[in-house]
Amino acid sequence: MDPELREKIKKGNALFDQGKVNEGLMLLIEAREKAPDFPDIHNQLGLMYCMLGSYKMAVNAFRKALELNTNYIEAHLNLSITFNEMGRYTEAVTEYEKAMKLEQVEGRLTSGMKAKLANAHKELGINYLEIEEFENAKQEFRKALKIAPQYLDIRTLLGSTYIKMQKYDEAIAEIEKVIGINPQYIDARIKLAVAHYRKGDKDTANNILKETLDFAPDNEKVKAFLKLSSKEHPGEL
């Protein structure tokens, strides 16, 4: 590749990383004109268009990258994520499955691609939660954690899913792992209190919320949950 073109691509990507998406986009468009058969340029353009909310243009860019390299795992993942953002869930799953088949054959996911893959599972799980398909949601969150077990927000979502499934012991086990790593994760502490309350252990739920107020005394959400859990008939908690 021409050194000048390589430098243009490098600078465009650096601008993108700095949040200067429009400036980076202009450089990548110039690079595409000089090297239209370079799939990485089209994939990067897709990311930039997606960041700007130009999803149709992002789809076209990712598809061009895949036209040039059908085994481009990251482009399949990026296209899946973009389709998910557009609400085109069937197409999102199709692209995701293509990426998975390629990964099983090639086994070359980078750390960045693993993060994208974990987040793709997370988004699918959230979609399943919204339509109350809890078993599918659970499976997606577990797949995400297999790839990225350090993602505390995903483990908290898994705990929340277990609560909705009325599997309170499983919920408590998952959320306690989160709090063991980050004792001041307020959302996880609230979910842990809810799991104990639903299980019938009102005292433990109240103690968790009171402990949370020790380091977050102004948190209105914690105060509201404590007030509800302290009532004789609190309704839905």
**Domain map (residue ranges) of the chain:** 147-237
Q: Which stretches of the chain are DSSP H helices?
A: 3-17, 21-34, 39-51, 55-68, 73-85, 89-106, 111-130, 134-147, 152-164, 168-181, 186-199, 202-215, 220-230
Question: Counting every residue, how long is the chain?
Answer: 237
What is the structure's pLDDT at 19? 84
Q: What CA–CA distances, in Å, run from 70 to 28, 62, 109?
A: 21, 11, 16
- Report pLDDT for 185: 95
Chain segment 147-203, per-residue pLDDT in tens: 889 999 999 999 999 999 999 999 999 999 999 999 999 999 999 999 999 999 999
pLDDT in tens, the chain (237 residues): 688 888 989 999 898 888 888 999 999 999 999 999 999 999 999 999 998 989 999 999 999 999 999 989 889 989 988 988 888 888 888 888 888 788 766 556 666 777 877 887 888 888 888 889 999 999 989 988 988 899 999 999 999 999 999 999 999 999 999 999 999 999 999 999 999 999 999 999 999 999 999 999 888 988 888 888 776 544 455
Is the model's pTM score more than 0.85? no
Q: Is 166 helix (H, G, I), strand (E, B) or coil?
A: coil
The class of domain 147-237 in CATH terms is mainly alpha
How far apart are alpha carbons 225 and 192 in whole angstroms?
12
Q: Which residues contact 17 (CB under 8 A, 6 or more apart)?
A: none
* Interatomic CA distance for residues 37 and 25, integer angstroms: 17
